Amino acid sequence: MAGIRQALLDFVFPPLCHLCRRHVPDAGALHICEPCRTELAYIGQPLCTICGEPFAGSGPDHPCGTCLTDPPHFDTARAALIHQGGARTLIHSFKYHHKTHLKRPLALLITERLADHARHAACNLILPVPLHRRRLRERGFNQSLLLAEQLSRCWNIPFERQLLRRTRETIPQAELHADQRRSNVREAFAVADPAMLAGRRVMLVDDVITTGSTANECARTLKRAGARAVSVIAVARAVSD
């Protein structure tokens, strides 16, 4: 019945592509038309088995030089897309233009691309990267929390919105040089109730992985509080400069 209703609605109000706003008669759940979809820069293999940084060329996955010399606190980090073009546009509208309905296609891009990885990581708790109270008041919502909620529903993994907290304000990582980012987020997070983390395998959700400093500091905090594993999942990752 729901299927017929949706088909009728699509006939009367054909869905618009989230990127080019053209009608997409056969948009599927993603609502991104085929031409826009083919322009998204999906991350494929080969990549770093730890931080997920893609490598040029072909060959097997392997740890990157950075992960070998300075291993991160998280066990793995993966993103569906490179943060450029259509992916950047979608995430920007989602975060800065209050287009919160974009949480669905963005979460869908993650579940389509990273289902195998998520299964392998065998997480039993989903946590969003928290925003500081003041940033939350300004924006009105935490984009990572909206994504985490979608992933929790889709993958049927419990989700806690308040367990990991941001205890002090930090400068937006995008405004800083790579070498300033680690100290910017140092000791900026805390776990409200460590007992809830004991032995848990955490999926930490963020919208964009920039240098991984934020995810790494969250992972450090979570592991210190008793988490057994931390896998970072994001919509997109910045290309390293």
DSSP codes of every residue in 206-234 = EEEESSSHHHHHHHHHHHHTT-SEEEEEE
196 binds Zn ion (CB under 5 A): no
# chain residues binding Zn ion, by CB under 5 A: 10
Q: Report how far residue 63's alpha carbon sits from residue 53's, in angstroms, rounded to the nearest whole number.
A: 9
Cα 41 from Cα 83, distance rounded (Å): 8
Query: Which x/- pattern, by CB under 5 A, does the window 52-91 give for Zn ion?
Result: ------------x--x------------------------
Residues shown for the chain: 241
Is the Cβ–Cβ distance between 66 and 55 less than 8 Å?
Answer: no
Rounded CA-CA distance 103/146 in Å is 6
Between 67 and 205, name the residue whose CB sits nearer to Zn ion: 67
Task: Select from 47, 48, 127, 131 the one that contacts Zn ion (CB under 5 A).
Answer: 48
Helices 103-121 & 85-96 angle (0-180, nearest 10):
110
40 part of the interface to Zn ion, by CB under 5 A: no
- Residues 86 and 79 sit within 8 Å (Cβ to Cβ): no
* Minimum CB distance to Zn ion smaller for 113 or for 237: 237
- Contact of 203 with 233, CB cutoff 8 Å: yes
Specify the residue, 76 or 221, whose C-beta has the smaller distance to Zn ion.
76
Nearer of residues 24 and 205 to Zn ion, judged by Cβ: 24
With binding defined as CB under 5 A, does residue 102 bind Zn ion?
no
Least Å from the CB of residue 112 to Zn ion? 17
CB nearer to Zn ion: pick between 145 and 229: 229
Answer whether 165's CB lies under 8 Å from 190's CB.
Answer: yes
Residue 17 in contact with Zn ion, rule: CB under 5 A: yes
The reply on whether position 19 binds Zn ion by CB under 5 A is yes
Does the protein bind Zn ion through residue 36 (CB under 5 A)? Answer: yes
Q: Which residues bind to Zn ion, rule: CB under 5 A?
A: 17, 19-20, 33, 36, 48, 50-51, 64, 67
